[in-house]
Structure 1
Amino acid sequence: MNNQSANFGAFDPINGRQSENVDLWLYERGIAATSCGVTITDATQPHNPIIYCNPAFESITGFPPEEVLGRNCKFLQGKDTDLAVVEQIRQALRTKQECQVVLKNYRKNGTPFWNELKISPVCDRNGNLTNFIGVQTDITSRIESEAALKASETRLRLALNAAKMGVWDWDVDSGKVTWSEEVESIFGLEAGGFGGTYEAYLNCIHPEDCYRVTQQMSRLAEIGGDFKIEHRILLPDGSVRWVVNRGAVLRDLIGAGVRMTGTVMDISDRKQAELALRQQLEIERLLNGIAQRIRQSLKLEEVLNTAVAEVRQFLKTDRVVLYRLNSDDSGVVVVESIAANWMPILGQSIQDSCFASKHFHHYQQGRIRAIEDIQTANIQKCHIKLLESFQVKANLVVPVLQGEKLWGLLIAHHCSEPRKWEEVEVDLLKQLSVQLAIALQQSELYQQVQTELTERKQAEAALRQSENNLKEQAMQLRLALNDLQSAQSQLIQSEKMSSLGQLVAGVAHEINNPVNFISGNINHASQYIQDLLNLVQLYQKNYPNPAEEIQEETEAIDLEFLVEDLPKMLDSMRIGTSRIREIVLSLRNFSRHDEAEKKPVDIHEGIDNTLLILQHRLKPNSNNPGVQVIKNYSDLPQVDCYAGQLNQVFMNIISNAIDALEEQPSPRIITISTELVIKSELGVWSCELSNNLSNNLLAHNYINEKSKGVLIRISDNGSGIPEAVQKKIFDPFFTTKSVGKGTGMGLSISYQVVVDRHGGQLTCLSTPGVGTEFLIAIPLENIEQKNAKAVATDLAITNDVDDQTQVLQRL
């Protein structure tokens, strides 16, 4: 501050006087205390360096005095500082004149601010320029407020334009009215075309609304408050618009209204929509009433007369008629509603050659014709002459169609003057013509019904006589159809299984031949290879130092590893061929394609072959914990049976057990038990189930006292079968599986195979939450079939043919 004071004193010599020092000190204190930034530059030096700045300058700019003194003020400028303003400052400095500008400067921290800068030159007593004093004022807040206000005004103007709204102000005492540009646009005036008086505003109001608006405005001026007035205005081009005035009355201290201010908005679109809505509602009311009368009344003449009368009242026209066409292209007016003082034409026959030749086919295709003035319309003179004879000045014609047939015309006549028909009026007649067509069709149908009623009564007597016979025949046909469908499904499934058996047998045969070839030659190949290896060992023994080339080849082929691994490889191939032969044998045994007749077979072999085919579903993998199979086989003799069909039964039941365990947590167990029973055990099967499901009391009335039988039990620890489902599981086409996973024929055919084909019994026992067990009883003796229908099940199939086909494809 001392340095600044010394520099400050340099531009106004003190001359050693005490009073002047005091005054200078006071001036300096005053400058330091002001809120405006003050800088003093030395005009005698190039670039006008700053020699003084007050604390407010540092507060505004953030630059301390030590960073300011000796610099030119332009260090506050930025790239976006207005160059024109900068040039204005330079011009003032060159001409030694005062100037006041507003420019954008930057603080020390880089933030911008708006600076109102006033520069004043200072001269000594001799008139020589010594300094410039700059006063800075931060007006950023004011600039931002002005910008915000301007943006707000812009948004308001855009909003007013978008809403078709303007603002106005009325000084009641002077009668002066001020409008915005938007109001002038709404009233259809050019910019500045409004007279600016209350009378000029009243001249814009529609004459029919002017008195009402004047009364309301006067009353509002007296009582004050907010107001809303809707009225029409008349534009200079003669068109009419609807506006709504909203505003408030401002009062003076004694309560008198002195000013009104508010907004005016164009609501023509809303008014038109309201008018259209009212018209539409009236049309719907009219049409609904006509439609209700048509539904409730069979008096056609009354319905038609009421309809045309109501339409004439709605259209406010002079005549509405319903004109019916004859087969010779002539016609007659069958219904008419007419206003007073006009000529009636009801019942009049009309022969219009122009209509027949020029217009008939157009109306038959649904054409609607609206003529606003018959004298200016493009119609033939003969037709004009006809219309003039009926006093018609304008008309609206809508065809009445019954399908593709033109029944007649619905016509509205306006006789007093030409008329422009509105679209809503055309639509009304169009919809009415549809309703009238319905009424006409209903009347014709009623006549037909009356004519046919007698014939139907006569036919009903004959029908009642034959009704019982028809019901009985229908019942027989349904039963025959059900039997046919069941037999057809079984035959189709049997054919599929027969083809599948042939495929399995053929595939097994084709695989067996090359496998036998490979298996038969592996022993010889093994012996030959062993002989060669022995020969190599003799060479190594008798020629321990072979040639270098032989040594390199020995190392290249890794002879030691080859000698060790080659026998192992042959053993693996031998095991593989044995496994393939086992699978082929299982497929042949399972299909039993060459064993269509009954013959003694090993039941255990059939079960094992079935398990081998289903092995892929039993083995555990990454997504399946697998199923454990427990086999409790007894010592059984060979059973006289159809081996292939019985294998299908095993396949069906075991496959269903695997399906039942899919959602079951571990352990998943399927138990298969077999035992030999005699008569005393067949009479009452008292074998307790392994999973304690229940006691099985299975009576067999199909086996004589000396017979023996084999009992096969297949159980799982799944969720069980509900009692309601157990009653249906052997019914044809019944399945609980999703679409595409079962046909509902597997257990049905399995039942037929066991019971009808083998004289045995198939039973299911299940407890929900515990598990399910199937019991298959097969007699050892050859028992003839008792059911003739079993012929259709010669080749029993499973209900999961697709699953088995996939199994065979994997194998």
Structure 2
Amino acid sequence: MNRKYRTILIVDDCLEDRETYRRYLLQDVNYKYTILEAELGAEGLILWQQYQPDGILLDYCLPDIDGLEFLVQLQAQKQSKYLPVVIVTGQGDESLAVQVMKAGASDYLIKRRVTPEELRLAMNSVIEKAKLHGKLQKSEERLKLALESAVMGTWEWNIENNNLICSDFITQIFDLPDGSCLSNYQSLLELVHPDDREALNQSIITAIATGKKYQTEFRVLRLDGAVNWVEARGKVYYDIMAQPTHLVGTFMDISKSKQAELEKQQHFCKERLVNQISQQVSKSLDLEKILNTTVDEVRQFLQCDRVIIFRFQLDGNGQVITESVTSDWDVILGSEIYDPCFDLGWAEEYKRGRIRYIENIYTSNLAQCHIDLLAKFQVKANLVVPILQGENLWGLLIAHQCSASRQWQQVEVDLLQILVTQVGIAIQQSTLFKQLEIELTERKHAQQEQQRLLTLEAAARTEAERANRMKDEFLAVLSHELRSPLNPILGWATVLLKNRNLDATKTTQALKIIERNAKLQVQLIEDLLDVSRILHGKFNLAAKPVNLVDVISSALETVRLAAEVKAISLKFIILNPSSNSNHKGMEIVNSATGLWDIESEIKSLKYNVLGDASRLQQIFWNLLSNAVKFTPHGGAVEVKLEPLGDFFKIIVTDTGKGISPEFLPHVFEYFRQADSATTRKFGGLGLGLAIVRQLVELHGGNIQVESTGEEQGATFTVMLTRIPENFDGNKTENKVKLPTNYFNLKGVQILVVDDDEDSLNFIKFVLEEDGAIVTAVASAFEALKILSDLKPDILVSDIGMPGMDGYALLRQIRAWQAEAGGEIPAVALTAYAGEIDKIQALAVGFQAYLTKPIEPETLVTVVAELAEGRV
């Protein structure tokens, strides 16, 4: 194994220490050492001059000079800036270490702590660094000669202390003032064009990180405003520990080659752009597309801030019809522009095709009106080329430089002149094409209009057929639902009329059947009227505090008999509103007696909402009657009343036939039924749930339905808003009605007017049964004759009558004097059940309004209230 030779100079006044260091070094099997020793600093400097050792091991405290002075004198003798010196001191002071390192020492060790390995490692490191710096210095010298011949500038960056050393040519390349220099890396970056600064910095950072050479190009802004192009090359150098120490590079001014390259590229771009526009003009008749392409391509070629096409009239007025602009400047597309300077000779120049360019609007001897116009659009320099259509001036192609003044090049002017010729051809072609296009469009529109009318006719026919089909289906269902209860009504009525010998039981059964089916018809009609009121926005609610426990209990009682017939279990679960706990509520199951007894403790709690009690009961009656109707024998129906924050949640669940997934989205639609066939098992018009949804929403709530499928039952969930515990129910207007048996019509004279004989006799019978003295007439004319003599207490009149209706009758009566009967209390009695009918009746002077069919109790109550003066 060949061992390398090294010469080491040990400068230390302690013989024992010198012997220790000698022994440590000689233990290194990789090198053969020649050891030079000196007790004094001056002696050591002489030995350095004589032998030029590879490295120095220097004691800081010497009898004649200290380590700092030794380093200063050694630096003066040594041509290289790097000193291969390791300082050894008995002091562990960090500030001292910093001083000696700044003075040029390469490493620092503390006596009595030095191990053989540390000493050898330190000496090897500084010697290798010294060799590296020696090679670097020679390389720099050779490079300097090469750069001087190639007119390049060199720079060296000490990465460790951020010092920058530049050659003289750097000043020339960067156009630095005389006497100035670059001191650090940051000062270099500040001279680079802002748009290129980050790219240069990133190239150098990458070179430091990877160790690869870098090469890049960037721009420098000169003091005179010109731009220099610079090519940068360089390499990073590292120490033995692979830490970057220096970056050495060159800068070369490549502005001339860049200019030649730019001119070559401009020529190529010019040819390409002209060919592109020419091909587009020859292939396309879309003028807007051609103009947009032209301004975009011209702006890219000129690298200017804005390019526009200005379409104007000869009086100077015009509009910017096409624009390409960078994001830094205002968009002026569509701007209406009036040039007050247009008549100052330029109109004629433009008409002759003359190009005009301005390098600086403030130094080009322009009229002030022209300067003001250009400044308004941020323009500092512009290039204007007229666009001719044949011999007529059509518009202008204008390039704007907004960021600075600009010297326009001849190649740029030539390009725009060629392009506007192509644009003029495109305009001519487009004009001819538009004329043809108008003719074709008019013909096409006529054909489209004909087709549209045919399509509308077909759609109208289809819609009419669909409407007729739906009308026929609805009328068929309506006819079925009306005729079905009519059959038992007419049947049993005929039996009762013909057979006077029926026993009491059979007679009672027949009358109950007639009553039940008549009520079914009433309900069908009420549903239809409710739908009409809802659709016309005439549905009103008498809102008052209502206890949901009472409402739901009443609805349950209504369906109880039907549930018992099918052995269906009815369950009502009430949760405590103050605790939301199942444990503190109660559960009620229908008993044999059918009474829904609510514990007084529960009944005293407030389950109140603000609503119309009758309509709320209609909601839950409908849900419960459907649940019972669609639940098979032995099934179950459950109602759960649950407080939920500011709401009450009412859940109605059954174990019935369920709802198919296909029909589930249509459950709440009008006239929709899951089974509309003639073989269907369940009747109805398909209105109930649609009305329920509307009623719930009118109460400010919502309703949802869930079902996992047919034969899986269904769950309806109603959410209603709770009213506060301190809600003052006394502020709502309530009509307090006395029990029916309180009224006594004995001796009350009543005039009844109705053109329907059966209805007239029925009303007369009901009122006479309660003791009233009734006079019945079949027309309004008869009523007017009788009123002048009879002076009855109450008038009950039908609305719809031939000759004179009830409205006209009451208007005539109200025109009379009070002593003549003009203020007689009157009840409107009609089959017209719309909200508008009620409003009209009350408006003409009726105090009460009753719709047919009429419950006897209701009729007696209303007439009695009028007789008592309570209505």
Structure 1 and Structure 2 fold alike (TM over 0.5):
no
The answer to which structure, 1 or 2, has the higher relative contact order (CA under 8 A, 6+ apart) is 1
| TM-score of the aligned structures, taking structure 2 as reference length | 0.28
